[in-house]
Amino acid sequence: MPSFERLVVPRQVRTSPVSEEKRTKRDFYRILRDYSEGNPGVALQSWRDSLYRRPDGQTIYVRLFSGPTAGQLEDLPATFYFVLRTVVQLDLAVEEDLVSCTDLSPAEVADALRATRVHGYIDGNGHLFEIDLHWYSAIIRILRRKHLLLL
């Protein structure tokens, strides 16, 4: 069982009879739930990112995970946003479907796919593309902010 003893979680000041350890666990899981927005894949990825083992010991500790922010995606070309939105909506996308759904040229879609894969925003498995779990929450937030996604 991972140890929460070194974890410091920002919290609101409250007085309750709950022990410090239980409060820390509860607050960590609340942060994890809020960040993943109910997506189990994102939650598991973030949980894995929060675990670490010190080189000198056997104990596994929990630390706060840090995902990318939507601000890192702020200045992308419009074609990238259209392709990312379509991949989110299709879940698993094929390049031909991206062309027909975005009404972009095959060359524009191919360039956007190539660049988003290089940046790690999209994972490609042969001809199928999906949003990388590490970037999923940040991509959803930026697409919502730009009014390209209603979820």
Q: 20-24, 31-35, 46-50 — which is least confidently predicted? A: 20-24
Can you give the pTM of this predicted structure? Answer: 0.81
* Side-chain half-sphere CA neighbours of 32 within 13 A: 22
- Mean pLDDT value across the chain: 89
Q: How confident is the model at residue 11 (pLDDT cuts 50, 70, 90)?
A: low
Predicted confidence at residue 16, as pLDDT, reads 63
- Structural domains of the chain in order of their starting residue, each with its CATH number: 1-66 (no CATH), 70-145 (1.10.10.10)
> At residue 9, what is the residue type?
V
Residues 136, 67 contacting (CB under 8 angstroms): no
pLDDT in tens, 40-79: 999 999 999 999 887 777 888 899 988 888 788 999 999 9
pLDDT above 80 (res 127): yes
Reference 116, options 146, 147, 73; nearest CA is: 73
**What per-residue string of b and e applies to 66-83 under the rule 16 or more CB within 10 Å gives b?**
ebbebeebeebeebbbbb
Reference 87, options 144, 119, 128; nearest CA is: 128
